[in-house]
Amino acid sequence: MNNSIHRIILNEYEAKQKLAFDRVQLKKDNVYKKIPRIEEIDREIQLTGVKYNKAILLCTEPSEKVIDKLLKKMDSLKREKEQLLLKFSFPLDYLEPEFECKSCKDTGFIEKASGMEKCSCYRQKYINHLFSQSNLKLLDEENFSRFNECLFPDKVDEKKYGIKISPRENIIKIRERALDFIENLDDPEEKNLFFCGPTGIGKTFMINCIAAELLKRGRTVLYQTAPVLFKTINDYRLMSLKDNSVDDTGYSNIFSVELLIIDDLGTESPTAARYAELLNILSTRQKNNLSVPCKTIISTNLGINKLHEYYDERVASRIIGGFDLFRFAGEDIRMMKKLL
């Protein structure tokens, strides 16, 4: 793992924890001022714990008896504390730290039976640092709460839009499929998504909506344009030829992240090597998806019928067989917003 990124992330977690405990201290100061008895209780709890731990270590009493006394004393103090908090209209968890990630309590690690494992929030932080050019920063503006089907024409015009239903009905169907995709991410039978259509009609917006919702749920997401993705692979391979100890985390994330988003497919250099790399990505992720979530979304301006022309038969077949294909249609939303 890149040690500099690792240190940056650990520093971020330390800052988060410090902020959480600083806030708790401010709350304690407020409560102690209003209810002095709670400060006395906290002090008693601390001293009681020290006293009985010392007794256990020195074996001055049978350990079972010491533990029983400790539990009874602690329970009594905690009940009194809870009653006082409620009496003065404070929530029972008022003095508990509020962590950004409730799973790891902003440590970055979760204890499992097999040992300590990195939390999903840690993995996402690493991806965000490693691929700092990611568009994930747009997710505050592009999410399902800002979805507006009224930006799509409610008129059927197959000749103009290339679909047999109105663009509005079409985008509503795509949104419903996207929501199903999010809910069923863990299902190995759930197909990947392939979005195609002209520029400016909502493909990237829908991708960001999906990414935002999955990130809220603690999933790991990697967004890359096709040119940058293939450059990352090429750079890694060149470096690995020169140095066997080169960090491969960035490269391996492409094959293991829970959701890989490849935007602007078809804008990369059209070489046989790139096609082989794309086939390797799709094949490896499909295999990994049998045991852990490993889904892919592809977005392109190429029409579905152009896949066979632009990519070799194996790549086109892998996409058509493993993805649900959706064509976006409508007017240029970016131009509409500028006019508005």
Residues 97, 136 share a domain = no
* Tens of pLDDT, residues 17-43: 999 999 999 999 999 999 999 999 989
Residues 80, 207 share a domain = no
Residues 96, 143 share a domain = no
Alpha helices in the chain (DSSP H): 3-34, 36-58, 63-87, 120-130, 158-161, 167-183, 203-216, 226-242, 249-256, 272-288, 307-310, 313-322, 333-339
Q: What is the pLDDT of residue 302?
A: 85
Residues 320, 271 share a domain = yes
39-43, 64-68, 188-192, 321-325: segment of lowest average pLDDT = 64-68
* Tens of pLDDT, residues 254-291: 898 899 999 999 888 877 778 888 899 999 999 999 99
* Mean pLDDT across 121-136: 69
CATH code: domain of residue 139: 3.40.50.300
Residues 144, 98 share a domain = no
Q: Does 161 reside within a domain?
A: yes
Residues 137, 69 share a domain = no
Residues 86, 143 share a domain = no
Q: Does 278 reside within a domain?
A: yes
Residues 296, 149 share a domain = yes
Q: Are 328 and 197 in contact (CB under 8 A)?
A: yes
Residues 138, 191 share a domain = yes
Q: Does 121 reside within a domain?
A: no
* Mean pLDDT across 194-206: 91
41-50, 146-155, 229-238, 331-340: segment of lowest average pLDDT = 331-340
Q: What is the pLDDT of residue 136?
A: 58
Model confidence at 309: pLDDT above 70: yes
The string of DSSP letters for 77-131 reads HHHHHHHHHHHTT--TTTTS---S-TTTTTSSEEEETTEEEE-HHHHHHHHHHHT
Q: What is the pLDDT of residue 281?
A: 92
Model confidence at 138: pLDDT above 70: no
User: Closest Cα to residue 286, out of 319, 325, 252, 249?
Assistant: 319
Which of the pair, 309 or 116, is modelled with greater confidence?
A: 116
Q: Chain-centre distance of CA 22, in angstroms? A: 27
Q: Does 90 reside within a domain?
A: yes
Residues 147, 103 share a domain = no
Q: Are strands 115-118 and 109-112 parallel, antiparallel or unpaired?
A: antiparallel
Model confidence at 245: pLDDT above 60: yes
Instruction: Specify the number of domains making up the chain.
Output: 2
Highest mean pLDDT among 48-62, 123-137, 231-245, 316-330: 316-330
DSSP letter assigned to residue 170: H
Residues 183, 299 share a domain = yes
Q: Is 193 helix (H, G, I), strand (E, B) or coil?
A: strand
Q: Does 228 reside within a domain?
A: yes
Q: Does 114 reside within a domain?
A: no
Range of the domain at 166: 131-339
Q: Does 126 reside within a domain?
A: no
Phi/psi for 225 (5° steps) reads: -75, 155
User: Closest Cα to residue 289, out of 196, 175, 205, 192?
Assistant: 192
Q: What is the pLDDT of residue 262?
A: 93
Q: What is the pLDDT of residue 50?
A: 79
Model confidence at 133: pLDDT above 80: no
